[in-house]
């Protein structure tokens, strides 16, 4: 089974079915991320519009939001701050190729983020996402 094949990954409580939303303005990046996450035990929603993502989250419960940093419509850290405002329990992961630019972000906002570098390694990304989802399960009791 899947769990057996990916034995290195943290085991998720399948009674909590998760939905992960991914936001990136580069459609190829988005497609690649979808492929990485498609066969993981959670639903994946992708969009290149942070605004649409926020709309969507107002209606659905999202376990984790993954975002690119530089986007025309909205910077990733700002988007994730919005996510935190609307849904404090949603996990937040920032994917960026320029971590040095994050120095410009106020420390208070930066503390809200888990940051991963681009280019990513698929296995690392999957593991990180599982960890974040499990942390969330834990925090929810």
Partner 1 sequence: MGTNALKTTGRRPIRSHKVLIADDQPEILTSLRRILREEPYDLITCDSASKALEWLAENPVDMVIADERMPEMRGSDLLEKVRDAWPQTIRVILTGYPGSSTVAHGLTHGIDWLISKPWNDDALRLTIRQMLDDRDQKRPAPGPEPVKTEPEAADFCEQAAVPLSSIGVDGRVLWANRAELDFLGYPKHEYVGKSIVDIHADPRTAQELLRRLADGETVRQFEARLRRHDGTFVDALIDANVRWEDRKFVRARCITRDNTSQKSTEARLRRDRDELETSIRERNRDLQGANDELHRETAERQRAEDTQRLSEMRFRLLVEGVKDYAIYMLSPDGIIVSWNIGSERIKGYTAEEILGRPQTMFYTEEDRSAKKPERLLESAKAHGRIEEEGWSVRKDGSRFWSHVVVTALRDPAGRLIGFAKITQDLTERRRADEEKARLSAQMLQGQKLQAIGQLSAGIAHEINNPVGYILSNLNTMGEYCQDLRRLLKVATAAAMAREKGGDPTEALTEYRRMAEDIHADHLIADLVDVVGDCKLGGEKIRDIVRSLREFSHVDEGALRPTDLNKCLEDALRICWNELKYKAEVHKDYQADLPQVPAYPQRLGQVFMNLLVNAGQAIEKRGEVFLSTRVEGDYAVVRVRDTGRGIAPEHLSKLFEPFFTTKEVGTGTGLGLHVAYKIVNAHRGKIEIASVLGQGTEFTVRIPLGGPRVAAATEHPTDRRLS
Decide: 76 and 93 in contact? Cβ < 8 Å: no
Is the Cβ of residue 56 or residue 120 nearer to partner 1 in the bound state?
120
Q: Does 70 bind partner 1 (CB under 8 A)?
A: yes
Q: Does 32 bind partner 1 (CB under 8 A)?
A: yes
Site for partner 1 in 71-90 (CB under 8 A): 71-72
Instruction: List the one residue from 33, 57, 66, 83 that touches partner 1 (CB under 8 A).
Output: 33
Alpha-carbon dihedral 86, 90, 93, 99, rounded to 10 degrees: 40
* Distance in angstroms (rounded) separating the CA atoms of residues 98 and 31: 21
Residues that bind partner 1 (CB under 8 A): 26, 28-29, 31-33, 35-36, 39, 70-72, 97-98, 101, 118-122
């Amino acid at each position: 089974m899947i769990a057996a094949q990916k034995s290195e990954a943290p085991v998720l409580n399948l009674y909590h079915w998760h939905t992960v939303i991914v936001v990136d303005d580069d459609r190829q990046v988005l497609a690649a991320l979808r492929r990485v996450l498609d066969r993981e035990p959670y639903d994946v929603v992708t969009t290149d519009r942070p605004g649409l993502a926020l709309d969507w989250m107002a209606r659905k419960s999202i376990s984790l939001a993954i975002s690119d940093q530089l986007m025309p419509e909205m910077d990733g850290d700002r988007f994730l701050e919005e996510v935190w405002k609307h849904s404090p329990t949603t996990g937040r992961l920032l994917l960026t190729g320029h971590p040095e630019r994050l120095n410009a972000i106020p420390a208070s906002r930066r503390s809200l983020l888990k940051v991963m570098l681009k280019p990513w390694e698929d296995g690392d990304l999957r593991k990180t996402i599982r960890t974040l989802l499990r942390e969330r399960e834990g925090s929810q009791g």
